[in-house]
């Protein structure tokens, strides 16, 4: 069975990695699908996010990394995936994710949504919070792989030193 784990992954965190590692034990193949057209205006380009994800997941063997720009259920159909994995960190995530799961089911009745909670050590992590901590000079090493920490530091330095 093929599953898709979609997201912006801007940047990938230990919470994402935890879900991917566990999902890779449950499914034959997991496709980490990076959203191309995201209204969130990612800090990292699509190619940069792909590389950070690829490096961070190099030890997980049955994971493929793709990007997508269409409806998730259409992408799932293209990839012959029957499951969409969504992470739930807290009750606050549930309402939005539940609505998305119902909408996806209406759009493609043959694709199921599979909710996973990260390990409790990562339930408070979000890419948005990681970027904010880094922007304010905090240490993000407990939350992201070393390569992501270095990329954040470099990108934020470029932004601070670029002419306005």
40 among known catalytic residues: yes
Q: How far is CA 97 from CA 79, 92, 103, in A?
A: 22, 9, 10
127 among known catalytic residues: yes
89 among known catalytic residues: yes
Say which of 54, 89, 108, 126 is annotated catalytic.
89
Say which of 24, 127, 131, 155 is annotated catalytic.
127
Q: Which residues lie across from 85 on neighbouring strands?
A: 114
Burial of 37 (0-12, 13-18, 19+ CB in 10 A): exposed
Say which of 40, 69, 128, 146 is annotated catalytic.
40
Written as one string, the DSSP assignment of 97-134 is: HHHHHHHHHHH-TT-EEEEEPPPGGGTT--HHHHHHHH
The candidate with the shortest Cα–Cα distance to 111, out of 134, 129, 90, 85, is 85
**Cα end-to-end distance, the chain, whole Å:** 49
User: Which residues form the catalytic set?
Assistant: 16, 40, 89, 127
């Amino acid at each position: 069975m093929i599953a898709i784990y979609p997201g912006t992954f801007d940047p990938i965190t230990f919470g994402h990695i935890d879900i991917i590692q566990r999902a890779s034990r449950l499914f034959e193949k997991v496709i980490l699908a990076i959203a191309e057209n995201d209204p969130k205006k990612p800090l990292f380009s699509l190619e940069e996010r792909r590389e950070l994800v690829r490096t961070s997941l190099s030890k997980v063997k049955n994971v493929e990394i793709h990007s997508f720009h269409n409806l998730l259920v259409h992408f799932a159909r293209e990839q012959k995936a029957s499951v969409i994995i969504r992470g739930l960190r807290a009750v606050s995530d549930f309402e939005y994710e539940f609505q998305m799961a119902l909408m996806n089911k209406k759009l493609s009745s043959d694709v199921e949504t599979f909710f996973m909670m990260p390990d409790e050590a990562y339930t408070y992590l979000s890419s948005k919070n990681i970027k904010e901590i880094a922007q304010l000079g905090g240490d993000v090493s407990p939350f992201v792989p070393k390569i992501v920490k270095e990329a954040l530091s470099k990108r934020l330095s470029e932004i601070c030193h670029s002419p306005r």
